[in-house]
Amino acid sequence: MKISFLSNNKLSENEVIVQVTAHDYSDNVNQLIAYIEEYKHFDQIISINVGNAIKFINQDSLVAIEVYGDELRFFSEKTAYTTRGRLYKTLEKLDRRFVQIARGTVININYLQSLEAGFSGNMTAIMKNDRKINVSRRYLINLKERLGL
């Protein structure tokens, strides 16, 4: 794959045109176009209600989200925020680097350091901040697919 950039001063400051050129329309081209289409739908900032305040978290710094009872906990590199909400609603706001690895857990695959075999067929995700998170067998297929395995 070759990537190039062409400057065009006739475009407005925020206007971007993406053109995909290939020999023919293949599955790889289709996946690339789908990825680009999906990218434009997501905001890089997630807003959550924490107590009497609204916190803004950049998706780049978000490591994981876990459900504890009726609470959602957002783990960034340095802090954790607790709020009420539904995991599926939060998943709708996140981009492709986030993948659900258990019924109540979502991780940012950019922070995934390694996967290790766990008990009874489960895996353990070792994150770059040394946090260990269980990956259930049910969601392991999705994680492997997202990682291209």
* pLDDT, position 42: 56
Q: Cβ distance 58 to 45 under 8 Å?
A: yes
* pLDDT, position 43: 65
pLDDT of the chain along its 149 residues, tens only?
888 888 888 888 777 788 889 999 999 888 888 877 776 555 688 888 888 888 888 888 999 999 998 899 999 888 899 999 899 988 888 888 999 999 999 999 999 999 998 777 789 999 998 889 999 989 998 899 888 88
* pLDDT, position 39: 64
* pLDDT, position 72: 95
- Determine the Cα–Cα distance for residues 115 and 118; give it in Å rounded to an integer: 9
CB atoms within 10 A of CB 64: 22
SS (H, E, C) 33-52: HHHHHHHCCCCCEEEEEECC
CB atoms within 10 A of CB 59: 18
- Determine the Cα–Cα distance for residues 85 and 49; give it in Å rounded to an integer: 9
Tell me which CATH homologous superfamily contains domain 45-147. LytTr DNA-binding domain (2.40.50.1020)
Token pair recorded at residue 32:
């690339």
* pLDDT, position 40: 58
* pLDDT, position 105: 96
- Determine the Cα–Cα distance for residues 79 and 45; give it in Å rounded to an integer: 16
